[in-house]
Amino acid sequence: MARLLHLRRRAPRFLAFALPLLLLAACDSQSTPDRELCSFAVGPGVLDSTPLGVSTYDVTYRAETTGDAVIDLITFADINGVQTQIESPVLPWARTVTLPAGVEAAITVRGAYAEGARIAGSFSAQSNEPIRGAAVTVAEQSGCGEL
């Protein structure tokens, strides 16, 4: 009889601890929408120096989301084409770097999005030396999800 009383005392403590955890897990799984994984590259775009005589470009990389989407990793060509990674960036994200002509400008974006959402990435490059009075511009963009 003493053993039975001991088990009855433990059961309420166990249920008091386990029941809220089960309810929390159930609520959490229902509130998270299904997401499609997304990974894409924009570029590479070679920043040409010939025959224009351009020596450097200001390159602006951008990444953003709309709707229920997240970006967990951005990789881009930094100064001299060195690959730089940004984890869990604050969005919308943008970075401008000066690259020498002949280097490839590129950005890779990885994330996930739900139905109706979008992940976008782009780069634009503008020469620092005008050619015949006009700057040379190179631009590319891509994305996943709804337009």
pLDDT over 90 (residue 16): no
Hey, which residues does 143 pair with through a beta bridge? 120
Helices (H) and strands (E) in the chain, counts: 1, 8
pTM greater than 0.85 (yes/no): no
Contact 121, 142 (CB under 8 A): yes
Q: Which residue has the higher pLDDT, 94 or 25?
A: 94
The reported pLDDT for the residue numbered 105 is 87
85-94 as b/e: b if 16+ CB within 10 A: ebeebebebe
pLDDT over 60 (residue 98): yes
Average pLDDT, the chain: 75
Nearest by Cα to 124 from 109, 106, 111: 106
Q: pLDDT tens for residues 20-72? A: 333 333 222 222 458 899 998 888 887 776 656 778 889 999 999 999 999 99
Hey, which residues does 36 pair with through a beta bridge? 113
Q: What is the mean pLDDT of residues 82-110?
A: 92
The reported pLDDT for the residue numbered 132 is 63
Ranking 87-91, 95-99, 102-106 by mean pLDDT, the lowest is: 102-106
Contact 51, 125 (CB under 8 A): no
The reported pLDDT for the residue numbered 130 is 67
The reported pLDDT for the residue numbered 84 is 94
Torsion angle of C-alpha atoms 61, 67, 73, 76, degrees rounded to 10: -10
Ranking 44-48, 87-91, 124-128 by mean pLDDT, the lowest is: 44-48
Q: What is the mean pLDDT of residues 88-96?
A: 96
Omega within 30 of 0 (cis) for the link into 44: yes
Within 13 Å of residue 87, how many CA atoms lie on the same side as its CB? 0
Burial class of residue 23, CB neighbours in 10 A (0-12, 13-18, 19+): exposed
Q: What is the mean pLDDT of residues 4-29?
A: 35
